[in-house]
């Protein structure tokens, strides 16, 4: 089940809200969230509920053990155990085939991997629990003594399967008691509607064009099909993927943040208009902010060292960033691709960018970011190389660029809207309206009307179209 699903919109979410707000008892409300979160998770693969609950129980008990023995060697043993235990689980289910393939290639063996199905959201909730236990070890937070409350934090359906990565410290005070109110609920609903619009109207339409020019998991691109495309069509496909992955992932974050606020949680932002960045370093301060902060605070800073060691630390972080996204060499190459430019910026390039005109710096960032997505997209190395060659062949296809022009013309209004939404135009307009509004009731009525329009458009699109992919579920 995904948020942009009629079943979720018209059955799951309404029932959850009805049960949640049927009582003012905080404990009952937490149990409602636990029950609905586990049902949400079980919709895909019920068996993985056992793994989620069992691993949560281990980390919960271990955090109490660590707090009890803080300052002793046993606390260190406890935190090491948590890190190894959780990463081993993730490696078993996510990287087993990749690891066995590399061993076979190196040693000439023929071991077979179990090939387990990937538990949905394991990359996200693994970081939830590791960051929690490490924070307990550091003394930054107190261990949660109530297991149901801890399970709610780990399993909360709004952020379980595709983030944002929620740190316990950021919601600690809202786990036991939340101050739900109509203003937060209204703001959360509006944020959810915006995310739904971005997913259904922007990301899904972009996904259809990506499928046409780059293929997808079920219908991968073939060499024969690629040969029939012009270089312009290849670039259009790549540009559409840059649009799809941003609006797909940021839409889910918007919906997750909105849902959280509807239930009284205040999650931190996960995206901040990354495509307006003027450097690669800035891009990664704006893209998937929760993941970047995890690697910064739990890998980069603890590695420490002098200025020369900075580049080694960056290498480790970006190698792990690539690995986190998937068990394939292309993800590692993608992570190291960005490492190269971030290292160059840290060495000397950032000083030049700071002196350059804003449009030059922005152009530089896009020239690096957008081609980088082709590395992310293709797990097949041969197809990756072939597609890159097509991009830079600057050749016309057998039909010239007629199909390219038809596609652009057909989607022109949508393309203009997409480009506008990549910039903080809406954010600035809403800030201006909020500042200038004189009558709250008029503004709130307009907001309700705006939400109704967004929902209507999304439902019309969902009913009429069946193609509703979601990229980050595989991570």
Residues tagged active-site: 325
Cα–Cα separations (whole angstroms), residue 199 to 185, 209, 277, 310, 465:
21, 14, 22, 38, 13
The answer to whether the CB of 7 falls within 8 A of the CB of 1 is yes
386 burial type by CB count under 10 A (0-12 exposed, 13-18 middle, 19+ buried): middle
Tokens linked to 247? 């609006």
Angle value at C-alpha 232, between 228 and 237, nearest 5 degrees: 80
Q: Count CB-CB contacts under 10 A for residue 205.
A: 21
Q: How many residues does the chain have?
A: 475
CA distance linking residue 2 with residue 407, whole number of Å: 29
Query: Which has the closest alpha carbon to 367: 175, 238, 254?
Result: 238
What phi and psi values does residue 400 have, to the nearest 5 degrees? 70, -145
The answer to whether the CB of 144 falls within 8 A of the CB of 153 is yes
Radius of gyration for the alpha carbons in the chain, expressed in angstroms and rounded: 23
Q: Count CB-CB contacts under 10 A for residue 356.
A: 14
């Amino acid at each position: 089940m995904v948020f942009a699903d009629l079943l979720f919109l018209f059955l799951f979410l309404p029932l959850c809200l009805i049960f949640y707000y049927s009582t003012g008892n905080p404990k009952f409300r937490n149990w409602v969230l636990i029950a609905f979160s586990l049902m949400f998770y079980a919709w895909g693969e019920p068996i993985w509920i056992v793994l989620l609950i069992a691993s949560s129980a281990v980390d919960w008990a271990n955090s109490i053990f660590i707090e009890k023995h803080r300052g002793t060697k046993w606390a260190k043993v406890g935190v090491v155990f948590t890190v190894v235990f959780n990463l081993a689980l993730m490696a078993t289910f996510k990287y087993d085939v990749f690891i066995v393939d590399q061993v076979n290639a190196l040693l000439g063996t023929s071991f077979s991997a179990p090939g387990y199905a990937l538990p949905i959201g394991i990359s996200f909730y693994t970081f939830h629990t590791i960051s929690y236990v490490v924070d307990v070890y550091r003394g930054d937070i107190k261990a949660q003594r109530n297991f149901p409350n801890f399970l709610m934090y780990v399993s909360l359906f709004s952020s379980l399967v595709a983030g944002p990565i929620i740190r316990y410290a950021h919601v600690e005070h809202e786990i036991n008691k939340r101050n739900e109110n109509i203003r937060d609920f209204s703001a959360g609903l509006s944020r959810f509607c915006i995310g739904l619009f971005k997913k259904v109207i922007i990301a899904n339409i972009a996904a259809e064009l990506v499928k046409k020019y780059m293929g997808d998991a079920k219908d991968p691109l073939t060499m024969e099909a690629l040969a029939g495309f012009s270089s312009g069509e290849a670039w259009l496909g790549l540009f559409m993927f840059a649009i799809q992955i941003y609006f797909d992932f940021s839409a889910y974050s918007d919906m997750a943040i909105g849902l959280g606020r509807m239930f009284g949680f205040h999650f931190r932002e996960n995206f901040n208009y990354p495509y307006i960045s003027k450097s690669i370093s800035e891009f990664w301060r704006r893209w998937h902010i929760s993941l970047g902060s995890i690697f910064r605070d739990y890998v980069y800073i603890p590695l420490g060292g002098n200025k020369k060691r900075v580049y080694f630390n960056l290498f480790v972080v970006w190698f792990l960033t690539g690995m986190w996204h998937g068990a394939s060499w292309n993800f590692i190459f993608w992570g190291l691709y960005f490492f190269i430019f971030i290292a160059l910026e840290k060495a000397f390039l950032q000083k030049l960018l700071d002196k350059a005109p804003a449009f030059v710096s922005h152009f530089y960032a896009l020239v690096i970011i957008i081609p980088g997505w082709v590395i992310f997209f293709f797990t097949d190395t041969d197809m990756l190389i072939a597609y890159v060659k097509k991009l830079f062949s600057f050749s016309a296809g057998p039909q010239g660029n007629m199909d390219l022009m038809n596609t652009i013309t057909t989607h022109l209004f949508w393309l203009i809207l997409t480009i506008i939404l990549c910039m903080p135009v809406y954010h600035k307009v809403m800030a201006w309206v909020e500042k200038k509004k004189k009558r709250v009731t008029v503004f709130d009525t307009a907001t309700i009307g705006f939400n109704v329009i967004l929902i209507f458009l999304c439902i019309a699109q969902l009913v009429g179209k069946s193609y509703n992919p979601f990229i980050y579920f595989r991570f």
